[in-house]
Amino acid sequence: MTIAPQEDRLHAQIEFALEIDKLKRVIRRNTLMDGSRRENDAEHSWYIGMLAMVMGEYAPPGTDLDRVTAMLLVHDIVEIDAGDTFIYDSAAVAAQPELERKAAERIFGLLPADQAGRLRELWEEFEERRTPEARFAKALDRLAPILANHRTEGGTWSLYKVTAEQVRKNVKIIEDGSPALGRYAAELIELSVSRGHLAVS
Amino acid sequence: MTIAPQEDRLHAQIEFALEIDKLKRVIRRNTLMDGSRRENDAEHSWYIGMLAMVMGEYAPPGTDLDRVTAMLLVHDIVEIDAGDTFIYDSAAVAAQPELERKAAERIFGLLPADQAGRLRELWEEFEERRTPEARFAKALDRLAPILANHRTEGGTWSLYKVTAEQVRKNVKIIEDGSPALGRYAAELIELSVSRGHLAVS
């Protein structure tokens, strides 16, 4: 008996759906806003998807916010294979692109070719940060941990001995995607420094 | 010193952002696909947002899939106050609408009025299930636990003594949003029955 092409297609999509459930088990350094536990990639992706919905007005005019949301939902899926990289761990950051490229091939490759291509494009666009959509998406991805660390009075900054100088470099990435959110993040950082929750050096 | 209107607006949006982080702590009955733990509402919302992206072709032609995604990201936020209701617990299901209405008022009400209205509309549309977008969104919300229970050889069906008859009623909701996914869900259910993972009565 031959399988109808339609069924074959649904079968591939279901395989992908079962696979990406694993994103719920990829644990990030950052904690929830109440500091109770570290967050996972899946709930983080939901969170910044919501930020896109609520903070959209701070993206440059004409930014396609639905594309930003799609990018944010997809952006961490490669970490199922490649793992989460702490942005302040330079050695890990250097090794990451090759691991993530292979992961994208395997995981998106579970889908029918047209969809695999589409999701891969979204992920690459996010990583390359050339479009306003990607720059805004990345800004939200970087803003979320700053909110959490500010809220938890230092959080992973204190725990991993991150300095204000390092965090300020991140603000540049936020400014790149959204000047208004960049200014807000800068204020939070200086507030954290003044309260002794973020070391100057 | 008066606060500039723009700052006031961002302040409200940030309050909302901090509040909805709590969705990561609302625990559902269902487990992850590997059965390792119960899932939370935030990661579940991400998951079905991804399903919308991948299963969109099974929605009726003309369905606005970006609206489906937005609806799915927002649909469980009221559970921060109202809690998760197990769909097979009739008493809890009956009490839920009033709790959720109050929750919507409080939580979406943290946002500037225009945004509060927009998110509330998305949530109400999802609950009322009158538009193709809402019906498709609800179908995905109901499909995900069936995938997980099938994958975990019974999962919450066995644990809470849910019968095939009860689950088949859910399939009607999936069919309503997507005939193709309804057929697929029905197949999974009959397969689970035949393997002894779902009791007939």
**In Å, how far are A35, A163, B147 from B167, measured between CA atoms?**
38, 53, 12
**Residue ranges of the domains in chain B?**
5-194
> Does the distance separating the beta carbons of A43 and B119 come in below 8 Å?
no
B8, B11, B24, B40, best to mutate vs chain A, most A CBs in 10 Å: B24
Neighbour count for residue B199 (Cβ, 10 Å): 17
Query: Searching chain B, which residue's CA lies closest to the CA of residue A15?
Result: B147
What DSSP string runs through B73-100? HHTTTTHHHH----TT-HHHHHHHHHHH
B18, B26, B54, best to mutate vs chain A, most A CBs in 10 Å: B54
- pLDDT score recorded for residue B2: 47
Distance from the A201 Cα atom to the nearest Cα atom in chain B, whole angstroms: 28
Q: Mark which residues 72-131 of B lie under 8 Å from A by CB.
A: 73-74, 111, 115, 119
Burial pattern B148-184, b for ≥16 Cβ within 10 A else e, equals bbbbbebbbbbeeebeeebbeebbebbbbbbebbbeb
Chain A residues closer than 8 Å to B14 by CB: 147, 184
> Which residue from A10, A43, A50 is facing B184, i.e. has the nearest CB?
A10
Put simply, whether the predicted model's pTM sits higher than 0.90 gets the answer: yes
Chain A residues closer than 8 Å to B139 by CB: none
- pLDDT score recorded for residue B4: 57
How many contacts (CB atoms, under 8 Å) link A and B?
A: 114
pLDDT one digit per residue (tens) for chain B, 201 residues: 444 557 799 999 999 999 999 999 999 999 999 999 999 999 999 999 999 999 999 999 999 999 999 999 999 999 999 998 888 888 888 888 999 999 999 999 999 999 999 999 999 999 999 999 999 999 999 999 999 999 999 999 988 999 999 999 989 999 999 999 999 999 999 999 999 999 998
Query: Searching chain A, which residue's CA lies closest to the CA of residue B40?
Result: A43
Report which of residues A184 and B93 the model is more confident about: A184
- pLDDT score recorded for residue B89: 83
Query: Searching chain B, which residue's CA lies closest to the CA of residue A116?
Result: B54
**In Å, how far are A30, B77, B88, B96 from B100, measured between CA atoms?**
30, 9, 18, 6
Domain A5-194 has CATH 1.10.3210.10: yes
Query: Searching chain B, which residue's CA lies closest to the CA of residue A58?
Result: B10
Please, which pLDDT band fits residue A88 given cuts at 50, 70 and 90?
Answer: confident
B28, B44 in Cβ contact below 8 A?
yes
- pLDDT score recorded for residue B90: 84
Chain A residues closer than 8 Å to B151 by CB: 18
Side-chain-side CA neighbours of residue A37 (13 Å):
8
Chain B residues closer than 8 Å to A39 by CB: 24
Mean pLDDT of chain A: 94
Round to whole Å and give the CA distance between B83 and A147. Answer: 25
> Does the distance separating the beta carbons of A46 and B13 come in below 8 Å?
no
Number of residues in chain B:
201
* Mean pLDDT (whole number) for A171-192: 96
pLDDT surpassing 60 at residue A8: yes
pLDDT surpassing 50 at residue A166: yes
> Does the distance separating the beta carbons of B10 and A47 come in below 8 Å?
no
Chain A residues closer than 8 Å to B13 by CB: 54-55
Q: Tell me, yes or no, if A146 comes closer than 8 A to chain B by beta carbon.
A: no
Strands A38-40 and A27-31: antiparallel
Chain A residues closer than 8 Å to B70 by CB: 53, 69
- pLDDT score recorded for residue A1: 42
Number of residues in chain A:
201
> Does the distance separating the beta carbons of B47 and A13 come in below 8 Å?
no
> Does the distance separating the beta carbons of B115 and A47 come in below 8 Å?
no
Q: Which residue has the tokens 């990018």?
A: A71
